[in-house]
Amino acid sequence: MRFAAGIEYIGTRYAGWQAQKHARGVQAEIEAGLSSVAAAPIEVVCAGRTDAGVHGLGQVVHFDSPVQRPPHSWMLGANTRMPDDVAVRWVQAVDESFHARYTAIGRRYRYVIHNARSRSALWLNRAAWWTYPLDAGVMHQAGQALLGEHDFSSFRAAECQSRTPWRRIESLRVRRHGAFVIIDIQANAFVHHMVRNIAGTLMEIGQGKRDKASMADILSARNRSAAGVTGPAGGLYFVEALYPPPYHFPAADGDAALFGTACNALESSSVD
């Protein structure tokens, strides 16, 4: 039987999603928890691999099981055997054609910036700290130059293994909530470090180090050196993977906790 599962994790203690021989990966913890329920080895495939220190609110995986277990047994059983910073939030039976990565038609990330003069102990490794004042409205306007299908080589890490730098950004929104600036970005897929490099560039624009009109030139340069710094990993969250019908999975609870409700309330207001 094939199952899909929603995964939530704090990535601070992990070397990224992927299981590695000499470093701790989130994938290994998930597989160990599910394998204990199945009493047999279980391998998972995720919708989008995340880097070291990056968090997951609504990561989606699929796995095949040689034994039958009700969905709640997978969830409860795996959670009792995994670290507290990794959790299975839901499990659903799916047909064998479902693939967490290849069936997905889009992915959404959120980048959280703590914009304050002093650092926060509570938000350590949970938000990027930027001490200089940021203009969220200018950042939003600059980000609109990235909408559509483009060559994102300017925002692509040198070690990226993707065969093509072309991706399609469907939405990019920047808004402020008190001392926090939140970037929400949705695309069909992302190249390595794409969101963090976009976030770093937008922060430089929001600070006034770059003109908001420069984003189009950075994109057309197709050169990583043209863009800004790479934003810290701790500010990045994999929010959700999007799938076509008939697949309907629960939304991530943590999305609202990370200013989702506040940001949605601002949807109808214009960005200066």
Q: Report the 10 Å Cβ neighbour count for 48.
A: 20
Q: Report the 10 Å Cβ neighbour count for 39.
A: 10
Is 106-242 in CATH node 3.30.70.660?
A: yes
Write down the catalytic residue from 51, 85, 151, 253.
51
Say which residue, 19 or 93, is predicted with more confidence.
Answer: 93
DSSP 38: H
DSSP 118: S
| Short-list 83, 80, 103, 79, CA closest to 91 | 79
Residue 64 annotated among the catalytic residues of the structure: no
2-94 CATH: 3.30.70.580
pLDDT at 19: 72
State the average pLDDT over residues 204-221: 97
State the average pLDDT over residues 215-244: 97
Q: Where are the domains of the chain?
A: 2-94, 106-242
Judged by average pLDDT, the poorest of 21-25, 88-92, 106-110, 239-243 is 21-25
109 is in an annotated binding site: yes
| Short-list 5, 242, 207, 215, CA closest to 105 | 242
pLDDT band at 20 (very low <50, low <70, confident <90, very high): confident
pLDDT at 253: 76
DSSP 259: I
pLDDT at 22: 82
> In CATH terms, are 2-94 and 106-242 the same topology?
yes
State the average pLDDT over residues 138-155: 98
> What contacts 258, CB < 8 A, 6 or more positions away?
57, 110, 112, 182, 237
CA geometry: angle at 131 spanning 187 and 208, to 5°? 65
E-strand ranges in the chain read 2-9, 44-46, 55-64, 86-94, 106-115, 128-130, 148-151, 166-177, 180-187, 236-242
State the average pLDDT over residues 237-243: 97
**pLDDT(271) > 90:** no
Is-contact 59 238, C-beta < 8 A? yes
Residue 81 and residue 79: Cα distance in Å, rounded? 5
Say which residue, 205 or 261, is predicted with more confidence.
Answer: 205
Segment holding 72, helix H or strand E: helix 71-79
CA distances from residue 112 to 134, 210, 237 in whole angstroms, order as listed: 13, 20, 8
Distance of CA 99 to the CA centre of its chain: 18
pLDDT band at 259 (very low <50, low <70, confident <90, very high): low
Residue 156 and residue 257: Cα distance in Å, rounded? 29
CA distances from residue 239 to 3, 75, 170 in whole angstroms, order as listed: 20, 19, 15
